[in-house]
Amino acid sequence: MPQDPTPAAQHDLAPAGLVHRLEAVQERVRQAAEHAGRPAEDVRLMLASKTQPAPVVRVAVEAGARLLGENKVQELVAKGPDLADLSPTVHLIGHLQSNKVNAALRWAACVQSVDTLDLAERLSRRCEAVDRDLEVMVQVNVSGEESKYGVAPAQATALAAAVATLPRLRLTGLMTIGANSDEETVVRAGFAELGRLRDEVLASGLPGTGSAHELSMGMSGDLELAIAEGATMVRVGSAVFGARPAPV
């Protein structure tokens, strides 16, 4: 196998301006943190790399984006080996079907999309079987939109507490996808709600909940609002990679 797969050729595969757009997003994150009176290092940038081929993702990782989010296990498995030499940290941020748990665990350091106890138990059992730990977040559907996965806000703290007790799982926080709305107040209220739920989980003092400080929320269009409401991780795709091709 050739050791050095001509970086210049790979660079040509990246959409023009990718590194420039990555830097622009890093600057947006920095400024939003500053506006919120928060230290810039309190907010991590995750690249949502769904549908982007491995050589394109590679360019972004080499430019410093070391935290990646994938929506589909299929893509995790396909790109994992191609990026392994760069050792990015990859989280699963899309819905996880129970029959794909084993494959997901081969590449994901964290599953952010845990929204049922059944899924958490499957992850826990599989982690025990392969003798590893796994970070998890509970996905909450703060907007109540039917198209979105996630536990209802009213059930979120109970689910988080139950997940936190499972062997080999480490609850690191909560995740949400913001409301699909042009109204800032609506989007922002959803992010604020996730923050309140996270505070409740932390304040419960229940076993395993003490590490649940993350708020994974905010995307290309609403990351400023999310950071204003306490996001510790924003997940950005199109602002860095450009618009995704329409699904076929």
Ligand X SMILES: *Cc1c(COP(=O)(O)O)cnc(C)c1O
Q: Which residues bind ligand X (CB under 6 A)?
A: 48, 50, 71, 93-94, 177, 219-221, 235-239
CB of 51 to ligand X, least distance (A): 9
Six-digit token string for 13: 């595969």
Q: Which is nearer to ligand X, 111 or 161 (CB)?
A: 111
CB of 203 to ligand X, least distance (A): 27
Q: Tell me the C-alpha distance between 134 and 123, whole Å.
A: 8
Q: Tell me the C-alpha distance between 68 and 166, whole Å.
A: 25
CB of 9 to ligand X, least distance (A): 26
Q: Which is nearer to ligand X, 10 or 220 (CB)?
A: 220
Give the E-state strand segments of 16-56 in sequence order. Answer: 44-48
CB of 210 to ligand X, least distance (A): 26
Nearest residue to ligand X, scored by beta-carbon proximity: 237
CB of 144 to ligand X, least distance (A): 17
Burial of 9 (0-12, 13-18, 19+ CB in 10 A): exposed
Q: Which is nearer to ligand X, 93 or 142 (CB)?
A: 93
Q: Which is nearer to ligand X, 51 or 155 (CB)?
A: 51
Q: Tell me the C-alpha distance between 29 and 70, whole Å.
A: 20
**Which residues are registered as beta bridge partners of 170?**
135
Tokens 């909940």 appear where?
209
Q: Tell me the C-alpha distance between 247 and 225, whole Å.
A: 28
What's the per-residue H, E or C state across 32-71?
HHHHCCCCHHHCEEEEECCCCCHHHHHHHHHCCCCEEEEC
Tally of CB atoms within 10 A around 248: 3
End-to-end CA distance of the chain: 34
CB of 11 to ligand X, least distance (A): 22
Q: Which is nearer to ligand X, 8 or 16 (CB)?
A: 16
Q: Which is nearer to ligand X, 201 or 223 (CB)?
A: 223
